[in-house]
Structure 1
Amino acid sequence: MYPVTITSARVGLREFTPDDVDALTAIYGDPEVTEHMSFEPRSREQVEATITAVTGAAQAVPRTEYSLAAVRPDGDLIAFARLAVDTQHPGQSSGQIGFALRADQWGQGLGGDVVRLLLRLGFDELGLYRVWGARSPLNEASARVMGRLGMVEEGRIRGHLKVRGRWRDSVVHSILAPEWRRPGADDSRPSSGA
């Protein structure tokens, strides 16, 4: 599916363009934003390489990587949003989500808006059965976001990632299609523009 455009009242997801390098550097270059991520702050050159890679992956057939810019209605890029469809188990229907929200946008519920749009993409547009995300055990804000959207904490993967020279655990959360489609689970979902 290309291009992807999914919107809600406060946030939309769209494909990245080369013009997004500076806006994404404000997110990926911020030590506060990357504190709980699997990588250290990135330089402008590294972000430029990331955008080149994700715009190339967007053209793949079949498409398995959905790395998208999360933007406000005025076009302000506020987050990197990602859904990766599992290709290691053909015939399975699973995807992993992740996101990084610009620090000046924290505390406004926008992380939840971004994750909700990723879940819409996974379940409503791609027909996935399971969507999961992993977080640092110290990232309580991410735990709250996923929990509010019905994602169940499944457990801890010990020694999952080597970050900043040390091994770190990850806590996995997931949601299944029947839980997402449960009546009343998310009555605020507007229709998709994908």
Structure 2
Amino acid sequence: MLKPSYPIETARLSLRPFTMDDLEALYAFHSRPDVARFLYWDARTRDETRAALENKIGWAQLREGGDTLNIAAELRETGVLIGDLTLFWRSAEHRQGEIGFVFHPDHHGRGLATEASREILRLGFEDLGLHRIYGRCEARNTPSARLLERLGMRREAHLVENELFKGEWSDELVYAMLRREWNPPEESPGGR
């Protein structure tokens, strides 16, 4: 079981559970076609974003294998929601997890997604005791692949046309890291 002690503070971010107050900020990036291009859902309407947010609110902890943890990333300086992070507990028996992330494009290129995702890896490895965490992305999603590499994950697979994705055959990249490969930053500047 994993019930994070919120908020989780990093140098520039506060990671916390989602609330209904996040609707407009979440809609601001979930509604963008450029954000949804390589995701399993299309750009969302306000009602679709509200429905997704209602689910996210209920996913603030992991109780058993198969559960999903959703965490909001906001800028500490302004309190503005900029990211949506996920840790899927894929298998309790095999101690496997999967990381996911979606960030507002206005905040790309500043290392914020890397900063937040490191905390998700920490939660998975140190707090939940996972053995392996992997991340998947559509092969054309170069920014996500680079982020997974910056996190220290190794590319384990390039699956060729492994699924029908938004009407076309799509390649998928799989990255992973083992607990023994996890190399946390020496000190989290801002505490936890």
Q: Which residue of 2 aligns with 1:83?
A: 87
In structure 1, the residue corresponding to 2:124 is in which secondary structure? helix
Q: TM-score, normalised by structure 2?
A: 0.88
Contact 2:29 2:104 in 1 (8 A): yes
Q: Which residue of 2 aligns with 1:153?
A: 155
Deviations 1:137-185 (A, max 9, x none): 111111221112210000123334433212322100011111114xxx5
Q: Which runs of 5+ in 2 are unaligned?
A: none
Tell me how many residue pairs correspond in the alignment.
188
Matches within 5 A, 1:4-43: 4-5=5-6, 6-43=8-45
Q: Within 2, Cα distance between the matches of 1:52 and 1:94?
A: 26
In structure 1, the residue corresponding to 2:164 is in which secondary structure? strand
Alignment CA distance shift 1:52-1:104 (3 Å): same
CA-CA distance at 1:190 after TM superposition:
5.2
Alignment CA distance shift 1:192-1:134 (3 Å): farther
Q: Within 2, Cα distance between the matches of 1:55 and 1:128?
A: 23
Q: Within 2, Cα distance between the matches of 1:161 and 1:8?
A: 36
Q: Within 2, Cα distance between the matches of 1:72 and 1:117?
A: 15
Matches within 5 A, 1:132-143: 132-143=134-145
In structure 2, the residue corresponding to 1:86 is in which secondary structure? strand
Alignment CA distance shift 1:39-1:172 (3 Å): same
Deviates more, 1:149-158 or 1:126-135: 149-158
Contact 2:71 2:85 in 1 (8 A): yes
Q: Which residue of 1 aligns with 2:68?
A: 65
Alignment CA distance shift 1:125-1:3 (3 Å): closer
Q: Within 1, Cα distance between the matches of 2:180 and 2:63?
A: 28
Q: Within 1, Cα distance between the matches of 2:134 and 2:54?
A: 26
Q: Which residue of 1 aligns with 2:171?
A: 169
Amino acid at match of 2:108: W
Amino acid at match of 1:49: A
Q: Which residue of 2 aligns with 1:44?
A: 46
Q: Within 2, Cα distance between the matches of 1:33 and 1:163?
A: 15
Amino acid at match of 2:110: Q
In structure 2, the residue corresponding to 1:187 is in which secondary structure? coil
Q: Which runs of 4+ in 1 moved over 6 A?
A: none
Contact 2:10 2:116 in 1 (8 A): no
Q: Within 2, Cα distance between the matches of 1:117 and 1:60?
A: 15
Deviates more, 1:116-125 or 1:171-180: 116-125
Are 1:118 and 2:120 counterparts?
A: yes
Amino acid at match of 1:86: R
CA-CA distance at 1:12 after TM superposition:
2.3
Q: TM-score, normalised by structure 1?
A: 0.87
Contact 2:98 2:133 in 1 (8 A): yes
Contact 1:21 1:51 in 2 (8 A): yes
Q: Within 2, Cα distance between the matches of 1:106 and 1:128?
A: 28
